[in-house]
Amino acid sequence: MSCITTVTGKHFDPTEPNDGLIDIFDIAHALSLICRANGHFSRFYSVAQHSLACAREAEAREYSDDLVLACLLHDASEAYLSDVTRPVKALLPRYLEAEEKLQNMIWEHFIWRGLTPEEKEKVFEIDDAMLSMEFHTLMPEDIDGRYAELVSDVDFSEKAPADVRDEFIDLIDRYGR
């Protein structure tokens, strides 16, 4: 068995996850320190900031509390597995299996149920539109025009990771059960 040690001192095996060890502070802390786009954006923009933007988009679309949480947590597995770029992730079937298993466990842990295929589709629609907006704003190119589908105002201001972490936890507290 191999595991990682989280910021709260838990020994977590991301390939054989234990639901009892999933911790929102560990997730929020790690995601606030992981840079999107493999560090290639024009400045630091964390996975946690992206996740908050996705959740705020779900709020703006007046989606259910469960969908707001699902959007906030859609990349939470990366707190334990790390972020892998889409082109590389496609080459790693075992990573994809571990990611799906862990991600579903995280959603069930915080939402108390799995997501329906329709709910997952809405989450990933927002995720893709947000990625498009991030490239439009933080890169020297547009990858597509999906950013035009967003109805919320995305906050791309630079924030301290601890502030982003706390904002992430506050949103969990607001929508959690």
pLDDT in tens, 78-102: 999 998 999 999 999 999 999 999 9
Mean pLDDT, all residues of the chain: 96
**Which domains are delineated in the chain?**
4-152+160-175 (1.10.3210.10)
Q: How buried is 151 (Cβ within 10 angstroms: 0-12 exposed, 13-18 middle, 19+ buried)?
A: exposed
pTM for the full predicted model = 0.96
DSSP secondary structure, 75-140, as one string: TTTHHHH----HHHHTT-HHHHHHHHHHHHHHHHHHHSSPPPHHHHHHHHHHHHHHHHHHHHHHSS
pLDDT in tens, 24-43: 999 999 999 999 999 999 99
